[in-house]
Every structure is written in structure tokens, then in C-alpha cells.
């Protein structure tokens, strides 16, 4: 699967294309398939997200996951500060990242 | 400490206003990211993995308590309650919102700070000896010269678009505490025939192609220092490569030209530059130097330290250094607690250090390139009170220059350029060697970790260096031995095939065991390595 990601213009936070909008949560990400480049071009024009790009991902029972470690870290937050990730209350939230 | 004059205030205020407008236009969609990126970088605002990152300049690592408190305020109000002190003696914030950047820069300007030239292909923050003005071995305080270079390089119209970034360090002691020869220009203030002058080392650096700067001129009269620096930069700006980012640093130019030919061209340029009159009149230099006048230290203050508290005594032995004035000491605050993140400090800890600087160190603090903090002027009689306050704030780890005093870049946990994480490796090493007795048995051992070849973690200059690489999508760590950023400067040599995260920690333990079994009396790790070479260590690591 292919995922479209970038950083939110105002906050810089990592964001994922859901098929209709952007979300901070990787679980909401949609497979952009062959339409990725067109969505990317349109979203670059909309100027809501910085430097969007397409990455390889994989479907899992828990939702889509980026294939590369860098984007897995992006998806949740720094591995050394679980308190600053998107799921600070869940100690197992990062089990899939590394 | 240097205080802004009307020109400094006006320049910084104008830049804040300019950047505020640029941010507004970017958020309104009036300019693209491609147009905005060079503008934000000129103001130290990067886009990293999780958010924008703001790098704030701390000129030559010197700041006062008011400025330190502002750093805490920014962490608390605009970030996530912490900051990260860097190997450029700066501080970085990892979670900045673009819309907050103008307000942050205004807050910084209110205490005579900014983020200008902390990125981009310009002359970056001038670095220096963190013990400047206090060190027993310095021949003069190098900071007035660093400040002069700061003023000269700020908004320098000719050097705002160099082929690549440019880093300058200034020291004035034979002991090099600033990795001076691993800078694009390293200046050492030296004495000759009773006069002070500047020795220029040019073309050092780390990164993809590490090089030790050769000596280009052994003695430049200080009255000519700016002109000579200008000549060095002009030759680089004229001939440095702009077609290949990997060959654009001045070290590559000097390597290709040869130091002799580069020197010849600089000397020729210098004759011309000197005629332009850019060196300041003595009265102007004296005005700057006056602001670095030594604090009023009482040399008759008691020189004894009550060491009856054993924990305090351990800390004094490891983290306190001799001051040039009797009865005083230099306090080194380690930001490397076992299992912590090297260089990180919470806003509360930053406030504690600010308060101690104000109360006990004549309102001065320093940031070190080893990602620690210094209180440079503490009365020995006050050391116990300082230690108690530090201990209560989790800032009294007694490990300066030991194996757990690790330099580590943010790595793949934060940095968009990184290939591997640095911080977890540092944490695991510090935990493995957490026994202080074991660390002290190993003695001075400088361990440095970079998460990519850009070498922000100075791995080339580590007695033990670790470089994180990406091997087919997984983190892999190369080990190198024998580097040094000090006056015995050298570049580390790679041991062989790399390791995974746990494997590199095991390999380091085998290296240190080999050292303990091999060393002779008084030898540091790096001395033993230089004496016996790589072979026995390689055998210990790989069998």
C-alpha cells in the first residue's frame, strides 16, 4: 500500500492523508494507490501541508503502518519520550515502531 | 558579558519584524514552502520529523541568568517543557509551532538573543572555550575576539551565501576545550615575544569527510585578525565549490589546493583586504573587551573545601575545575544523568541553573560543546550549597569526561537527516556503565554518537565514536576508536563491520575490558589505543 504524509503547515505535526482530509493518526491513513501523485499535487497547491510525499506502507490488523523506520517514528513520536507521543498513556503504543 | 548597543538592538528588531511578516504570508498561503524555506532557515527554524525545530544562538556559549530564564520560559510556554543543548553551544526546541515563531523571536530579542545565522550557508555561531575568563591555563579571555568575530560575521553581505556553512572557534589556552581544529577556522590566541596574536588553523571539520585543520598562519597580530579572517573567507567564497554539496566545505578546497597554495592566496588577498580598513580602531575593541572584564573575585576567599559529605566530595573531584583566581572554582553541570537524554534539560532545571548562576557565579553561565552547562565563577565556600541545589534538581551527576558523559545528536528520534537513533544507544551505554566506580576506573573516555554521516554528535572525534547508519531499512552502528577533539586532535578509525543497538553496547564493553587489561600506568583509553593500535581491540571485538 502507499501512504501520503507531510507536516502540517501551522504546527509542523506529522499528518496523514485519510482519503478526504488530513489526520494526525496513522490509523486513519488511506491507501492512495495510483492516485497518490495527483492528490499530492492538489494538496501542495492547497498549501495546508508542508512537503507532502508518498511512502510505502503495509496493512496490519491494527491499521496501516509505514514500511520504513523513519516514518514509523514519525507516525508515533520520539521513541525516547513515550510521554510526548500521540499515545502517552499506552505503554505498548510503540511496540510496532522499532 | 557583552551588552547590545543600539545597532545590535535595531538589527535584531528589524529581523524579527521582517520574519514575522514572512510567517504571516506563509500561513496565509501567499508564499510557497520553497520560497519560505530559505527565509525560515535564516532564522534558525527547521522542519524536523515531528514538528518545527528552533535553534537559538548562544554566542560563544555565554549567557546570563536573565537569558537562561528566558530559555526556560520558551520551553515552558511554546514547547514541551524542555530544551536540548547542542554541540554548537546553542539550544534547540523540538516542538515549535510556526505561528508561535515570531513571538518567540520577540521574547528572545527582549533579552538580547536571537536565532539568526543558526542555519544556512553563512558564518554560524562563533564557539569558544566554555571556561573562558576562568580557566587557569588561558593566556587571555578569548571572548572579546569571539564577540568581534560575531559582530563582523553578522549579516556580512559578502558571506551570507557561502558555498556551504562555516564554523569558527576561538580559544586562548593550550588545552583545547572547543574542538578548535575541527572547525572551518580555528583561532588560537597565542603569545610571541610578549605580544598576543592569532594562530589560524583553516579547513577542519567533521561530517562526511573529516579533516583536521592545518596551520595556515602561526601568528597574526590581533590588530589584523578580522582582515586575515576576511581574506580566508574571500578565497573560499571565490573558489569553494558550489556544484557539489559534498565538496563545498572549505576543508575540501584546502585539501585540493594544498595548504601552501591556499596560504599563498590568503596572504595575497590579505594585503588587499588590509588596505580596506575593516579592523576596528583600538577604542572600539577596548569598548567590547571592557564588557568582558573579570568579575570582582576575592582572591583571599577561603581555598579549602569541606569534603565531609562523601557524595559531595565525589562530585567535586569529577565536576569541579580549578579557577584562575584562588578561592574559586569552575562548576561543570552534567546534563547526562544515567538513562537520560544527553543535553536535554527541563524548564525547571534550566531555571535552577539560572538561579545558581545569578546567586553564585556572578550572573554567568556557559553552554559547552559537550552538551553540559558551566557556572564559571563560584566561590569554593559556596560549592556545597550549589551541589545541594543541583542534586535536588537531578543535575549533580558526577561524570564529567567519563564514559557516560556522552555527546549524542538528536538522531532519528527527532532529526529528519538521521539514519539511526543516537539517544537510545547513549542511554544503554550509560546504563551498562552506570557504576561510578567502574567509570572512574576507566578514567577519561570521551564517547560520541552521531545518527548520520553529518556528524553532529562528533563521532569522528570520540575516543570511542559511534556512527548510526541505515542498512537496508534497519539501524546499524559503526564503531570507531582513537579520535579526539582536544589539543591531541585525531580522527577515529572504524573497527570493522557494524552492530545492532545491543551489539554495539556489548562491543564497547569488550573494548573497555581490553583497555583495562592493556593499559600502562597513567594511560587514558586513547593513549593506550595510540600505543598498541587497532589490532588488539579488533580481536577483542570480533574474535
Residue B413 has its nearest CB partner, among A9, A47, A79, at A79
Nearest CA among B114, B140, B118, B116 for reference residue B129: B140
Q: How many domains does chain A have?
A: 1
Q: Which residues contact A22 (CB under 8 A, 6 or more apart)?
A: A6, A8, A15, A16, A48, A49
How large is the angle between the packed helices B6-27 and B33-41, nearest 10 degrees?
160
- In a domain, residue B475? The reply is yes
- Supply the pLDDT for residue B352: 98
**A24–chain B Cβ distance below 8 A for any pair:** no
Quick one: B522 and B474 in the same domain?
yes
pLDDT bucket at A92, cuts 50 / 70 / 90: confident
Quick one: B396 and B477 in the same domain?
no
- What nine digits make up the cell of B368? 559547552
Quick one: B503 and B436 in the same domain?
yes
Quick one: B150 and B276 in the same domain?
yes
Alpha carbon of B101: minimum distance to chain A alpha carbons (Å):
10
Residue ranges making up the domain that contains B503: 407-542
Report the share of chain B in percent with pLDDT over 70. 100
Q: How many domains does chain B have?
A: 4
Q: Mean pLDDT over residues B21-29, rounded? A: 96
Quick one: B148 and B281 in the same domain?
yes
Alpha carbon of A34: minimum distance to chain B alpha carbons (Å):
24
- Asked if the Cβ–Cβ distance from A50 to B413 is below 8 Å, we say no
Q: Mean pLDDT over residues B117-144, rounded? A: 97
Residue B288, phi then psi, degrees to nearest 5: -65, -50
- Which CATH number belongs to the domain containing residue B301 in this structure? 3.90.480.20
* Count of A-B CB contacts under 8 Å: 66
Nearest CA among B107, B68, B109 for reference residue B91: B68
Position A45 pLDDT exceeds 90: no
- In a domain, residue B64? The reply is no
- In a domain, residue B122? The reply is no
Residue ranges making up the domain that contains A18: 2-97
Position A91 pLDDT exceeds 90: no
pLDDT bucket at A46, cuts 50 / 70 / 90: confident
pLDDT tens string B495-531: 999 999 999 999 999 999 999 999 999 999 999 999 9
Alpha carbon of A88: minimum distance to chain B alpha carbons (Å):
13
- Supply the pLDDT for residue A75: 97
Three-state SS for B484?
Answer: strand
Report the share of chain A in percent with pLDDT over 70. 100
Domain boundary, last residue among B400, B417, B435: B400
Rounded distance, CA B84 to CA B376, Å?
21
- In a domain, residue B72? The reply is no
pTM: 0.97
- In a domain, residue B117? The reply is no
| Contact assessment for residue B514 and residue B536, using Cβ atoms and an 8 Å cutoff | yes
- DSSP code for B98: G
- In a domain, residue B246? The reply is yes
Beta bridge partners of A14: A7
- DSSP code for B214: P
Which residue of A6, A11, A87 is the best one to mutate when testing the B interface, meaning the one whose CB has the most B CBs within 10 A? A11
Quick one: B277 and B379 in the same domain?
no
pLDDT bucket at A47, cuts 50 / 70 / 90: confident
Alpha carbon of A61: minimum distance to chain B alpha carbons (Å):
22
Residue A80 has its nearest CB partner, among B80, B96, B413, at B413
* Distance, CA of A51 to chain centre: 13
- In a domain, residue B301? The reply is yes
- Supply the pLDDT for residue B413: 98
Q: Which residues contact B226 (CB under 8 A, 6 or more apart)?
A: B148, B149, B152, B278, B279, B280
Rounded distance, CA B55 to CA B34, Å?
20
Quick one: B25 and B96 in the same domain?
yes
| Contact assessment for residue B55 and residue B92, using Cβ atoms and an 8 Å cutoff | yes
- Supply the pLDDT for residue B435: 98
- What nine digits make up the cell of A80? 525516547
pLDDT tens string B334-385: 999 999 999 999 999 999 999 999 999 999 999 999 999 999 999 999 999 9
- Asked if the Cβ–Cβ distance from A78 to B475 is below 8 Å, we say no
Alpha carbon of B470: minimum distance to chain A alpha carbons (Å):
10
pLDDT bucket at A44, cuts 50 / 70 / 90: confident
Residues in B touching A75 (Cβ below 8 Å): none
Q: Which residues contact B358 (CB under 8 A, 6 or more apart)?
A: B64, B65
Quick one: B161 and B283 in the same domain?
yes
- Supply the pLDDT for residue B7: 94
- Asked if the Cβ–Cβ distance from B96 to A12 is below 8 Å, we say yes
- What nine digits make up the cell of A90? 499506552
pLDDT tens string B238-269: 999 999 999 999 999 999 999 999 999 999 99
Quick one: B227 and B331 in the same domain?
no
- In a domain, residue B71? The reply is no
| Contact assessment for residue B363 and residue B357, using Cβ atoms and an 8 Å cutoff | yes
pLDDT tens string B285-320: 999 999 999 999 999 999 999 999 999 999 999 999
Quick one: B241 and B312 in the same domain?
no
Q: Mean pLDDT over residues A64-80, rounded? A: 96
Residue A80 has its nearest CB partner, among B27, B48, B423, at B423
Which residue of A13, A49, A70 is the best one to mutate when testing the B interface, meaning the one whose CB has the most B CBs within 10 A? A70
Quick one: B324 and B431 in the same domain?
no
- Which CATH number belongs to the domain containing residue B527 in this structure? 3.30.413.10
Rounded distance, CA B506 to CA B209, Å?
28
Mean model confidence pLDDT for chain B: 97
Residue B314, phi then psi, degrees to nearest 5: -60, -45
Query: ipTM, 2 decimals?
Result: 0.96
Quick one: B157 and B275 in the same domain?
yes
- Asked if the Cβ–Cβ distance from A12 to B475 is below 8 Å, we say no
Centre a 10 Å sphere on the Cβ of residue B1 and count the other Cβ atoms it contains. 18
Beta bridge partners of A58: A65
Nearest residue on chain A to B30, alpha-carbon basis:
A47
Beta strand spans in B214-254 (E): 215-221
Q: Mean pLDDT over residues B200-219, rounded? A: 98
- Supply the pLDDT for residue A89: 92
pLDDT bucket at B92, cuts 50 / 70 / 90: very high
Alpha carbon of B173: minimum distance to chain A alpha carbons (Å):
38
- Asked if the Cβ–Cβ distance from B33 to A81 is below 8 Å, we say no
* Residue that is written with C-alpha cell 583571599 in the block: B300
Amino acid at each position: 500500500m502507499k501512504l501520503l504524509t507531510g507536516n502540517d503547515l501551522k504546527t509542523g505535526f506529522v499528518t496523514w492523508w485519510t482519503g478526504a482530509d488530513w489526520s494526525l493518526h496513522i490509523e486513519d491513513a488511506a491507501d492512495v494507490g495510483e492516485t497518490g501523485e495527483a492528490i499530492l499535487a492538489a494538496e501542495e497547491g492547497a498549501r495546508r501541508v508542508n512537503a507532502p510525499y508518498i511512502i510505502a506502507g503495509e496493512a496490519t490488523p491494527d491499521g496501516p503502518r509505514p514500511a520504513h523506520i523513519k516514518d514509523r517514528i514519525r507516525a508515533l513520536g520520539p521513541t525516547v519520550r513515550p510521554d510526548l507521543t500521540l499515545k502517552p498513556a499506552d505503554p505498548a503504543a510503540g511496540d510496532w515502531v522499532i | 558579558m557583552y551588552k547590545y548597543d543600539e545597532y545590535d538592538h535595531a538589527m535584531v528588531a528589524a529581523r524579527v519584524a521582517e520574519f514575522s511578516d514572512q510567517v504571516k504570508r506563509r500561513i496565509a498561503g501567499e508564499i510557497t514552502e520553497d520560497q519560505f524555506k530559505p527565509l525560515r532557515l535564516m532564522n534558525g527554524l527547521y522542519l524536523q520529523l515531528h514538528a518545527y525545530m528552533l535553534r537559538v544562538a548562544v554566542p560563544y556559549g555565554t549567557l546570563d541568568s536573565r537569558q537562561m530564564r528566558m530559555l526556560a520560559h520558551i520551553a515552558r510556554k511554546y514547547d514541551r517543557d524542555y530544551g536540548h543543548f547542542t554541540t554548537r553551544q546553542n539550544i534547540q526546541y523540538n516542538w515549535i509551532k510556526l505561528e508561535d515563531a515570531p513571538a518567540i523571536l520577540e521574547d528572545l530579542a527582549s533579552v538580547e538573543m536571537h536565532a539568526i545565522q543558526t542555519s544556512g550557508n553563512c558564518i554560524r555561531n562563533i564557539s569558544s572555550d566554555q571556561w573562558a575568563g576562568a580557566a587557569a591555563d588561558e593566556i587571555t579571555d578569548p571572548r572579546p575576539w569571539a564577540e568581534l568575530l560575531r559582530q563582523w560575521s553578522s549579516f556580512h553581505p559578502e558571506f551570507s551565501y557561502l558555498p556551504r556553512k562555516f564554523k569558527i572557534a576561538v580559544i586562548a589556552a593550550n588545552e583545547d576545550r572547543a574542538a578548535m581544529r575541527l572547525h572551518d577556522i580555528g583561532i588560537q590566541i597565542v603569545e610571541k615575544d610578549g605580544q598576543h596574536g592569532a594562530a589560524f588553523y583553516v579547513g577542519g571539520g567533521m561530517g562526511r569527510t573529516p579533516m583536521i585543520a592545518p596551520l595556515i598562519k602561526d601568528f597574526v597580530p590581533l590588530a589584523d585578525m578580522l582582515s586575515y579572517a576576511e581574506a580566508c573567507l574571500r578565497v573560499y567564497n571565490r573558489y569553494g565549490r558550489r556544484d557539489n554539496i559534498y565538496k563545498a566545505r572549505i576543508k575540501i578546497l584546502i585539501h585540493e589546493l594544498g595548504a601552501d597554495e591556499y596560504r599563498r592566496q590568503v596572504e595575497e588577498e590579505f594585503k588587499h583586504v588590509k588596505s580596506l580598513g575593516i579592523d576596528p580602531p583600538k577604542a572600539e575593541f577596548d569598548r567590547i573587551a571592557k564588557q568582558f572584564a573579570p568579575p570582582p573575585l576575592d582572591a583571599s576567599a577561603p581555598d579549602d573545601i569541606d569534603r565531609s559529605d562523601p557524595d559531595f566530595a565525589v562530585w567535586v573531584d569529577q565536576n569541579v575545575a580549578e579557577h584562575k583566581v584562588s578561592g574559586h572554582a569552575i562548576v561543570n553541570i552534567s546534563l547526562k544523568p544515567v538513562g537520560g537524554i544527553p543535553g536535554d534539560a527541563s524548564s525547571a532545571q534550566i531555571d535552577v541553573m539560572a538561579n545558581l548562576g545569578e546567586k553564585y557565579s556572578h550572573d554567568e553561565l556557559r553552554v559547552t560543546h559537550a552538551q553540559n552547562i558551566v557556572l564559571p565563577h563560584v566561590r569554593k565556600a559556596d560549592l556545597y550549597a550549589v551541589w545541594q541545589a543541583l542534586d535536588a534538581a537531578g543535575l549533580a551527576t558526577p561524570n564529567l569526561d567519563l564514559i557516560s558523559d556522552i555527546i549524542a545528536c538528536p538522531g532519528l528520534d527527532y532529526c529528519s537527516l538521521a539514519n539511526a537513533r543516537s539517544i537510545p544507544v547513549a542511554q544503554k551505554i550509560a546504563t551498562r556503565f552506570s557504576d561510578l566506580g567502574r567509570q572512574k576506573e576507566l578514567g577519561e573516555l570521551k564517547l560520541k554518537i552521531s545518527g548520520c554521516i553529518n556528524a553532529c554528535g562528533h563521532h569522528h572525534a570520540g575516543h570511542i565514536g559511534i556512527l548510526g547508519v541505515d542498512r537496508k531499512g534497519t539501524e546499524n552502528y559503526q564503531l570507531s576508536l582513537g579520535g579526539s577533539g582536544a589539543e591531541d586532535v585525531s580522527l577515529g578509525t572504524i573497527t570493522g563491520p557494524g552492530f545492532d543497538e545491543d551489539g554495539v553496547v556489548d562491543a564497547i564493553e569488550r573494548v573497555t575490558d581490553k583497555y583495562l587489561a592493556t593499559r600502562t600506568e597513567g594511560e587514558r583509553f586513547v593513549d593506550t589505543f595510540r600505543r598498541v593500535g587497532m589490532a588488539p581491540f579488533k580481536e577483542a571485538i570480533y574474535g
